[in-house]
Amino acid sequence: MAVYSRIAGTGSGLPEKILTNKDLEQFVETSDEWIASRTGIRQRHVAAEGETTCDLAERAARAAMEAAGVTAAELDMIVVGTTTPDLIFPSTACLLQHRLGANGCAAFDVNAACSGFIYALSVADNFIRAGNAKTVLVVGAETLTRMLDWSDRNTCVLFGDGAGAVVLKADTEAGILSTHLHADGGKKELLYNPVGVSVGFKPEEKNAGVRVLMTGNEVFKHAVKALDAVVDETLEANGLQKSDLDWLIPHQANLRIIEATAKRLDMPMDRVIVTVHKHGNTSSGSVPLALDEAVRSGKIQRGQLLLLEAFGGGFTWGSALIRY
Ligand code: UT7
């Protein structure tokens, strides 16, 4: 009998501190009007001093495990999508595993920038389908604001911090119907952070390189095109029509990108989960945060068909079609 992964529980972890567009106006040349009209963002959560990606991941993970009724001892694997790990190593997944008391199970990070959660979900789903894991914690967690240049209005108004998590359990009923992952490493310079281990940290230039660099309008065009293609691919792979979908849960980078994908799918915006106004772009955190909010608010019901998608640095992009 075929084995699928089902979402048994979801959770969120957001920092308490909120930075509004009005707050940003105080220290960078921008306006609430510009940010809201170009991106849909009104505010974002920002990690407090000393608050790390693992702190947010832990909150999201505990909430998801509680919702799923799963204990740490039951976890076979932890996969964390993140591009802002606490440390270079050990992985954030290992740090999280120890905090949860799940010592012994497999734990690793996946770095696919803003597509990190979709990539992590796909990896976990494949382990479950292959019969190599039964219960997997999948997290998307980021503290993107740690690598922003707060004087660069092209990027600092866009990002926020946060984490979302799901617990996947093996089941004979679907579940995750399919996942679709893509990347194009040829577009690196359009969205990246130039600092890294083997290129050197350049510590003498304090914080000089530790920042997100983005050619926003180019990324925008690539994102819309790639997401159009991947939602078509997902429906085709499952022999489904646009009208079969109940909810679109998109990556929350820009409301205009979300609206373009919704239009492609002929979906009215009241069937699209939008959190970008509250969270900004939380990279790997954005899709599971949106999913958790929609589940907890009662919008998403068991049995409904969900399409998750994301696009980010790499470029990376992907989707997951889920019978919730
Ligand atoms: O999650 C990873 C994937 N990332 C994304 O998907 C992001 C994709 N890109 C975007 O969301 C949009 O391109 C942005 C929101 C980043 C920018 O919006 P845009 O409509 O593409 O604007 P633009 O970059 O073409 O800039 C338009 C103008 C420029 O001024 P000039 O040259 O026309 O005089 C910018 O300097 O807006 C100016 N501008 C700003 N003005 C006020 C750029 N940032 C700001 C700002 N406040 N924060």
Can you say whether the dihedral through the CA atoms of 283, 143, 211, 85 is positive or negative?
negative
Residues 315, 191: contact at Cβ < 8 Å?
A: yes
Q: How confident is the model at residue 208 (pLDDT cuts 50, 70, 90)?
A: low
Ligand 1, atom 14, lies closest to the CA of 216
For 153, half-sphere exposure in the C-beta direction (CA atoms, 13 angstrom radius) is 13
More confident residue, 189 or 322: 322
Q: Sheet holding 176-183: strands in order across?
A: 176-183, 316-323, 305-312, 247-250
The pLDDT assigned to 200 comes to 79
Q: How confident is the model at residue 204 (pLDDT cuts 50, 70, 90)?
A: low
Domains observed in the chain? 4-173 (3.40.47.10), 178-323 (3.40.47.10)
Helix (H, G, I), strand (E, B) or coil at 12: strand
The pLDDT assigned to 202 comes to 64
Residues 36, 42: contact at Cβ < 8 Å?
A: yes
Report how far residue 81's alpha carbon sits from residue 118's, in angstroms, rounded to the nearest whole number: 8
- Residue 122 dihedral angles phi and psi, to the nearest 5°: -65, -40
Distance from residue 38's CA to the centre of ligand 1 (Å): 7
- Catalytic residue IDs: 114, 251, 281
Q: Is the pLDDT of residue 153 over 80?
A: yes
Report how far residue 301's alpha carbon sits from residue 277's, in angstroms, rounded to the nearest whole number: 23
Report how far residue 209's alpha carbon sits from residue 203's, in angstroms, rounded to the nearest whole number: 9
pLDDT tens track for 220-261: 999 999 999 999 999 999 999 999 999 999 999 999 999 999
pTM over 0.85: yes
Distance from residue 217's CA to the centre of ligand 1 (Å): 6
Choose the weakest-confidence range: 102-106, 115-119, 132-136, 205-209.
Answer: 205-209
Distance from residue 256's CA to the centre of ligand 1 (Å): 12
